[in-house]
Amino acid sequence: MKLQFFYSILLALSLSSCGRTILFEKADHLSDEKWESSHILKYQFKVVDTAQFYDIFINIRNSTDYPYQNLYLFLTHQFPSGIAVTDTIEALLCDPFGNWYGKGSGRIKDHRLLMRQKVRFQERGVYNFSFQHAMRDEDLVGITEFGITIREHTPVKKD
């Protein structure tokens, strides 16, 4: 009995030490599998540790009804100081032959795409990220969910 308890504690400790700490994670569901061009998705998070490096991911869930190979996004990044920077990002969702890169079976595909790696937030305070799709369609069909994950960067160990 004691040995089983010991192994349970050891397993729990080993699993908890493997993961990276998540600073922020949020996903927005898009009703009717449609992202309207006027619908801006906003994410707000607080940074305390300016010495830590982070990896920033965008998370996209689409149905196989999505008609394009890629998804262009406008990202507005507002710093705690109030300065805002806008950038255009391309997310590749499938190859030229229509084979989806994301995970999932059936008609729904999940993509976790690295947007920025080893980022250090220079200012303490509240950051705002705003995303708007930059496709030509007013109503972009086939996107069911969009979100971001910001987690601590852990260097890859080389043998």
d(CA 60, CA 145): 6
Q: Does the structural domain 22-152 have CATH classification 2.60.120.260?
A: yes
pLDDT exceeds cutoff 50 at 10: no
* Tokens 């100081």, located at residue: 81
**Above pLDDT 90, what percent of the chain?**
83
Are 127 and 47 in contact by the 8 Å Cβ rule? The answer is yes
| Segments making up each domain of the chain, as ranges | 22-152
* Residue spans of alpha helices (H) in the chain: 2-18
**Residue 40 confidence (pLDDT):** 98
pLDDT tens for residues 111-154? 999 999 999 999 999 999 999 999 999 999 999 999 999 999 98
Phi, psi dihedral angles at 16 (to 5 degrees): -70, -25
**Residue 103 confidence (pLDDT):** 96
pLDDT tens for residues 69-92? 999 999 999 999 999 999 999 999
